[in-house]
Amino acid sequence: MQPLIITVAPTGAEVTPDQTPHLPYTAEALGETAAACRAAGAAMIHVHGRLADGRATQDVETFRAFMAAVRARCDLIVQFSTGGALGMTPEERAVALELGPEMATLTCGSVNFGDGVFENSFPIMRAILARMHEFGVVPELELFDLGHLDNARRLEREGALSFPRHVDIVLGVPGGAEGSVENLVDVVRRLPAGCTWSVAGIGRAQLQLAATAIAMGGHVRVGLEDNLYYAKGRLARNEELVARVARLAGELQRPVATPQEAREILGLRPRTGS
């Protein structure tokens, strides 16, 4: 099996600072969290922007400062969100790609998201992909529902996307595919040859699906964007969630990837300087 790539999604767009004292929503806090998660075993960081008061933003200058704060402290792969927050326009979501992060997410279809809708029509997906191509950003395909893989294959047939790709299977969003081992196995079984994959289990599904992915040879995403708790009633710090996955991998005799090993696995260029 490949070394395990652990991605941390430390902030997201929907979690608010009043829900947890551990949300790193400033550049300084994000940088410190990145360094702590790197030390705990993470290889990649999934970045959302926040304003000083904690509100979500996809603004270029915020992403510039957040990326610099991470890069000043560690060598994690920096992956930008293009999902942003519910209700943002596609242009707003994709504007910071001009900074050329190594990777960015592409959600492969619309999905109910709590009481709202996370909108990803084909025109939106094509526009975000075109911007990624323009700035040489490698997409990570986010699948929130079982038909999203079929949407990605349609984009491939159109020539907008090529496989194999790295795919993140997000399970347990209220409105998306349930966070079950059955759903994970179903999607993994249908992935095109050569794809690598990770699972992001939402809420209580995070731990069980992380353990399953380690055993299956996949990769894992954890963090407060997806799950606020370390255990019932006990709020988590991002680095604790990363460290627990790294320990589980150790018990299962699966090595944990450094960022440079993860770059090789994901076909990214080796990082030189900042």
Give the footprint of ligand KMH on this chain (CB under 6 A).
12-14, 81-83, 85-86, 105, 107, 113, 118, 142
What is the C-alpha end-to-end distance of the chain, expressed in Å?
30
> Cα–Cα distances in Å, from 212 out to 180, 183, 259, 270?
10, 12, 22, 29
As a whole number of angstroms, the distance between CA 63 and CA 158 comes to 31
Q: Binding partner of residue 142 among Zn ion, ligand KMH, none, CB under 5 to 8 Å per kind? A: ligand KMH
- Between residues 219 and 249, which has the closer beta carbon with respect to ligand KMH? 219
As a whole number of angstroms, the distance between CA 71 and CA 93 comes to 22
Q: Binding partner of residue 90 among Zn ion, ligand KMH, none, CB under 5 to 8 Å per kind? A: none
Q: Closest by alpha carbon to 240, among 42, 2, 49?
A: 42
Phi, psi of 40 (to 5 degrees): -85, -10
Q: Residue 118 Cβ, how far from ligand KMH at the closest point, in Å?
A: 4
Q: Residue 32 Cβ, how far from ligand KMH at the closest point, in Å?
A: 21
- Between residues 22 and 148, which has the closer beta carbon with respect to ligand KMH? 148
Q: Residue 273 Cβ, how far from Zn ion at the closest point, in Å?
A: 27
Site string for Zn ion, 186-225 (x = CB under 5 A): ----------------------------------------
Buried b (16+ CB within 10 A) or exposed e, 188-211: beebeeebbbbbbbbeebbbbbbb
Q: Residue 99 Cβ, how far from ligand KMH at the closest point, in Å?
A: 16
Site for Zn ion in 73-92 (CB under 5 A): 81
Q: Residue 105 Cβ, how far from Zn ion at the closest point, in Å?
A: 6
As a whole number of angstroms, the distance between CA 108 and CA 125 comes to 7
Site for Zn ion in 143-172 (CB under 5 A): none
Phi, psi of 221 (to 5 degrees): -115, 130
- Between residues 18 and 251, which has the closer beta carbon with respect to ligand KMH? 18
- Between residues 81 and 196, which has the closer beta carbon with respect to Zn ion? 81
**Three-class DSSP category at 89:** coil
